[in-house]
Every structure is written in structure tokens, then in C-alpha cells.
Amino acid sequence: MSQTDCLDMPHTKWELQIVNGWKFPGGLSDPCEDIGDTAVREVLEETGIKSEFKSLLSIRQQHNHPGAFGKSDMYIICRLKPLSYRINFCPHECMKCEWMDLHELAYTSNATLITSRIAKLLLYGYKEGFHNIDITMRTFPAVYSGLLYSLYHKELPDHYETKTGI
């Protein structure tokens, strides 16, 4: 989890509600980069933490946002599994970066609303099971020979995967 400097964001008639607030690492996808690969790369670039993609947790959509270059914006939040734990954050991206207690992050006033909400979602997942919140990814062959596509959805029980299970 990182604390980033929001002071360099463009200021318009909208005012920033939280400056230098706690938020999760994030950024834009490169062309032809899958969602999970973007999340893993951005976390590594901003924090130095190696990780692997586990699932999607949520998608935020907004329109007419001053920082979205006049476009509608979708922000996809992924759940990752850390493969390393030593933080080596990028000072160009973050003012501070540290591991935090999830309960503290969920209820602090120094976090963005989306960060607090996702922290609460993660708390629910740890308590009730991530199968209740995860949107996983499966790869399937596309209709074009040799090509694949990624389909994101809630996991199906194993007995739904076979014809005999229903």
C-alpha cells in the first residue's frame, strides 16, 4: 500500500478531498497488456514488491473526471499475492510506502474512499472466504484460430464445469 503525492494533479474547479492520502498502487495499462499484468507491474514499479495476480475485486467507472483527459475512466482493482515483502518504493511515485494493518486502512480518515472500501472488501474476503468476492480470469480459445481471450467472472462450482454435474 502506498501513500502518494496528489499535489501534482491538475486543479480545476474540483478540489481534491484528500491530499497525500493512503491509496493502493496503480496506473495505466500498456498497449496489449492484460489487467493482471498491469497490476503486477505497477506494484513492482511503485513499491518494489513482486506479486502475482489472483483476481479482480472491483471496477470503478466515472465520467467527466478532471484527471481522465476528457475520457470516461474505468479503474480496475485487483487482488495480488505478494511474492516478496521488502519495500523499495519509487520516490517519483510515492512520498511514503509501507505495509499496513488492513483493519486500520479500512477505517482511517487518511485514505481515499475507494481505498477504505476495498480494504473492507478484503477484510470480508479474509473472514468469509475470497470465493465470495473474487472475480477470476480464465483463458479460452477465440473464434479466430490461434488467438485467445480472457474472461473474467465469478468461479463456477466444479460440478457446473461438467455436463454430468448439473
Asked whether 2 and 97 are in contact (CB, 8 A), the reply is: yes
Give residue-wise pLDDT tens across range 120-156.
Answer: 999 999 999 999 999 999 999 999 999 999 999 998 8
Give residue-wise pLDDT tens across range 46-74.
Answer: 999 999 999 999 999 888 877 778 888 88
pLDDT value of position 65: 79
Long-range contacts of 62-68, Cβ-Cβ distance < 8 Å, separation of 24 or more: 66/10, 66/12, 66/14, 67/9, 67/10
Residues contacting residue 146 through CB under 8 Å, at least 6 positions apart: none
45 flagged as catalytic: yes
Question: Among 45, 46, 98, 155, which one carries the catalytic annotation?
Answer: 45
Task: Give 149's strand partners.
Answer: 140
> Nine-digit cell at 55?
483476481
